Structure 1
């Protein structure tokens, strides 16, 4: 009895260590510090039954084919590759380009004022020299703008604007087979995208078929363990009664008790394994993963 008690205590220590390791691994997966308190809520899940497995694997696959992101992505890549062929072939045709632009500049070396556009000119007279013998002043007349405005920063930008508009026509004659190579590469990309889509569909089908078989196997294991648990529980209760009556010894009772606890543990593990595998199929069917 002492030996069995010591063995049971050792199993408890091992189970606690395994539990702590599992907690640590879960925290690391969730990027939670190891020293942070962490509790797991155990949901009250109903007993699973194979009746929940209503759809066939082919029906699940057909639904997943229309909704799984990995298939959608592969389909979009294929459509993009098809358009890529058209883009590459456009290099065979002439192209007409329209170019337009506007620019301006500012300089701090510009004069402080400049004439107002559209203002009238006036004639001014200014001396240019003196006749040496007579002392008569020589003058000249010059037309200058009548209005000026300050050459501010914004006025400069407006005054110095430059605009352009152009058309260019490109007619492909010989480009060292660049367009031909681009078209062939686009066709290869299209073929590759088709193969990738087919591979994604095959992988999805295989995954769903495997998940479906996993559910069937888990259901059978769970049902078998329920029967085993009922038989083991009955054996354990009978052993308790025989032990009280002195019809069995402690060694035999301990063995029966250990077998009962093992089957009980296996049943719990099988239950959650079955539920998990059902949820995997729910995922591929687009059902909410409620627990």
Structure 2
């Protein structure tokens, strides 16, 4: 009996696990942001740019190291050749083997290698800032899309509530028409109102689906049909950041935001490019070293006999010849630039232009940041006023609708006018929801410039 209970219990847990696995788990805002930061294509490209910058630094470090190259060759000479032993021209086949090692190192080149290394460090820093900015932008976009989904969800509920109310009103109207209390025209108006409400529900559901699809595509999800967000009820509140003066928020943004850091880093990199270009005006000193050896497979003269003929013997062993014929060469090479087709002067001129562009870009980045911060503050305060006004309007529309219901019950208002009052009340509810999420997002943008992470306090 216990075994049967255990089997049934185990089967139930298994079926429950399969059922839970098959259902799509609702995503929270933090899960959406974290997933986007790990899987977004633009972020992956920025990460590859960072890796490329790190490889460029290795190139800059490699410029300080000596170049070392080995070489070896083996050749056959067939036909009429000079016999290196006798000095005579003979038809013969000779073989030669040679090997060598060469190295050179830059001792001084106008500090170009030093400045290239410093520039590569700045490039890595700039790539890191670019990656951070990309993550911030993706996080903001995800938060905006997520809040849009939540707004559409609440809007669907409002439209469904209106439909349910109008359906109840339609049922009451049918009873009043049957009793002869009101005219049949009121019933037709009520039926038309219910039909219009159903269309609004369908439109709201379609808008909700499209907003989910947009968020799923932003997250690079393949299974967007089963994607859904977790239900959340964010309550707007007065952000302490809005109590700060605009100048304080701008100053904080200049410290925190990576846009200015990118501009400053690019300016410093342009200054290093100019130094590299100017370094080409200076002389360069290079040290070099070479080692070589060779071997021949020809007979050797070891003496002369009594008749004056050469006494020949075979070649020495390969390694003995390598040891006997080895040689070294080393020294310093000085190169002084005199005329190179204006290439150096043109490179310096281009670097100066790039430097000026970087200065302008930095100034523009500062102006853009100030404008964006002031715009964000203005938008957030405007959104707060709109939200408060929408709440006031909702309260008024609610009272008007309740008053219209009382008048309709005593026959002082027809169903069309009642439907109009309810429509205005529903629109006021939708406007409160819209302004609420609009305020939440715009406040988040201001806090974002103030250095508060996107998903915090949300």
| Common fold by TM > 0.5 | yes
Give the conservation status (yes or no) of the 8 Å contact 1:48–1:274: no
- The answer as to 2:404 corresponding to 1:221 is no
2:432 to 267, 270, 284: 267
Matches of residues 177-216 of structure 1 in structure 2 within 5 Å?
177-216=342-381
5 Å matches for 1:119-268?
165-268=330-433
Q: What is the deviation of 1:38?
A: 1.0
The farther-off stretch of 217-226 and 245-254 is: 245-254
Instruction: Give me the whole-angstrom Cα distance separating, in 2, the residues matched to 1:56 and 1:284.
Output: 13
Q: Which of 234, 242, 251 is the aligned partner of 1:62?
A: 251
Return the match for 1:48 from 237, 241, 252. Answer: 237
Report if the CA contact (8 A) 1:104-1:160 is conserved.
yes
> Does 1:85 pair with 2:274?
yes
Task: Specify which structure has the higher proportion of helix.
Answer: 2
Name the residue aligned to 2:198: 9
Distance across 1 between alignment mates of 2:270 and 2:293 = 43
Question: Structure 1 pair 159/200, CA: closer, same or farther in 2 (3 Å)?
Answer: farther
- SS of the equivalent of 1:26 reads helix
For 1:178 and 1:235, locate their aligned partners in 2 and report how far apart those are by CA, in whole Å: 81
Aligned residue for 2:265? Answer: 76
Name whichever of 16-25 and 251-260 sits farther off. Answer: 16-25
Does structure 2 retain, via aligned residues, the 8 Å contact 1:96–1:169? yes
Aligned equivalents of 1:159 and 1:69: distance in 2? 65
Secondary structure in 1 aligned to 2:285?
Answer: strand
Report what 2:94 is aligned to. none
- 2:213·2:224 contact (CA, 8 Å) conserved in 1? no
C-alpha contact 1:98 1:167 (8 A) present in aligned 2: yes
Runs of at least 5 residues in structure 1 that lack an aligned partner in the other structure? 111-128, 130-144, 152-156
Task: Select 2:442's aligned residue among 273, 277, 284.
Answer: 277
Other structure's SS at 1:167 match? strand
For the Cα contact (< 8 Å) 2:217–2:224, is it kept in 1?
A: no
Q: Tell me the distance in 2 between the aligned counterparts of 1:82 and 1:278.
A: 38
- Note the alpha carbon deviations across 1:19-64, whole angstroms, 9 max, x for none: 2222222222222235541111232322233655122332222222
CA–CA distance in structure 2, aligned partners of residues 41 and 223 of structure 1: 26
In structure 2, the CA distance between the partners of 1:244 and 1:159, relative to structure 1 (3 Å rule), is farther
Separation of aligned partners in 2, 1:161 and 1:244: 118
Asked if structure 2 preserves the Cα contact closer than 8 Å seen for 1:24 and 1:34, the reply is no
Q: How many pairs align?
A: 255
**Alpha-carbon distance in structure 1 between the residues aligned to 2:435 and 2:230:** 19
Where in structure 1 do 4 or more consecutive aligned residues deviate above 4 Å? Answer: 100-105, 157-164
Change (3 A) 1:64 1:52: closer
**Structure 1 contact 28–34 (Cα < 8 Å) conserved:** no
3-state secondary structure, aligned to 1:6: helix
Greater Rg, structure 1 or structure 2?
Answer: 1
- What do you get for the CA RMSD once the two structures are aligned? 3.5
Deviation at 1:160, TM superposition (A): 10
Aligned partners of 2:381, 2:209: CA distance in 1, in Å?
A: 32
Do the aligned residues in 2 keep the contact of 1:50 with 1:219 (CA within 8 Å)?
no
1:286 is displaced (CA, Å) by 1.1
Offset at 1:209? 1.6
| d(CA) in 2 for partners of 1:235, 1:104 | 106
Aligned counterparts of 1:217 and 1:160: Cα–Cα separation in 2: 89
Instruction: Quote the Cα distance in structure 2 between the aligned partners of 1:55 and 1:75.
Output: 26
User: Which sections of structure 2, spanning at least 5 residues, go unmatched?
Assistant: 1-189, 298-304, 306-315
Structure 1 residue 158, shift from structure 2 partner: 11
Give the secondary structure class of the aligned counterpart of 1:53. helix
